[in-house]
Amino acid sequence: MTCEGHPTSNSSIEKLSTILRKEAGKYNMVSKSSRIMENIKSILSYQFGNAEIFPEECRIKGKYPNFKIFHKGKQLGMMVESRGMFSLTIEGGKMLAESNSYFVHIEDFVPHGSVFAVGVVDADKKIRCGDEVVAIHDDEVRAVGVAEMNGEEMVESVRGEAIKVRHYKK
């Protein structure tokens, strides 16, 4: 029992502190970098259904909410505060393409602003509006951006914006 008299008395607070320090001492301290990496993996797992799209050796730079993911000196993506999700660079898009998910196969062109539904050949059926997607032609990543319609609509529609492109292959 930690309470002696009133719960906020000095003796009660000191006793509670002593017991908590003793109990917490039984566990290893989790480093800040490990905690951040676990949080980022959770976000990536929620966003892409698989946190393993990025290699284990990735480095995280920046402070919340401006985390950036790097691998071998190349930026793969960054967290967007307004969405609470990660936005990919072309390099990050290449890694997402390898996972064979959140893909949109497009005709032979390099999109600069938007990919319209008429240019979509095939798309992952699990894509939802607002998802981060990668535009591919013949196994070559052409662009990354945000889906403006779901995967089935991209394939079936002949009009409308399918992807709002953020980065494209130069």
pLDDT tens-place string over residues 25-64: 899 888 888 888 888 889 988 998 865 788 888 899 999 8
pLDDT surpasses 90 at 90 = yes
Q: Other CB atoms closer than 10 Å to residue 11's CB: what's the count?
A: 12
- In the block, tokens 């290699």 appear at 55
Average pLDDT over residues 7-22: 91
In terms of pLDDT, which residue wins out, 113 or 121?
A: 121
Distance in angstroms (rounded) separating the CA atoms of residues 35 and 43: 13
User: Does the pLDDT of residue 67 top 80, yes or no?
Assistant: yes
Sheet holding 114-116, edge to edge: 114-116, 161-168, 140-147, 132-137, 103-106, 120-123
Binning pLDDT at 50, 70 and 90, where does residue 170 land?
confident
Q: Which amino acid is at 48?
A: F
Residue 139, CA atoms < 13 Å, CB-side half-sphere: 1
The one-letter amino acid code at 18 reads T
In what helix (H) or strand (E) does residue 16 lie, and over which residues does it extend? Answer: helix 10-24
Mean of all residue pLDDT scores within the chain:
91
Question: Hey, what are 75's tokens?
Answer: 């930026």
Q: Specify whether domain 32-168 bears CATH 1.20.120.1200.
A: no
Strands of 36-149 (E only): list them. 59-61, 68-71, 74-80, 85-88, 103-106, 114-116, 120-123, 132-137, 140-147
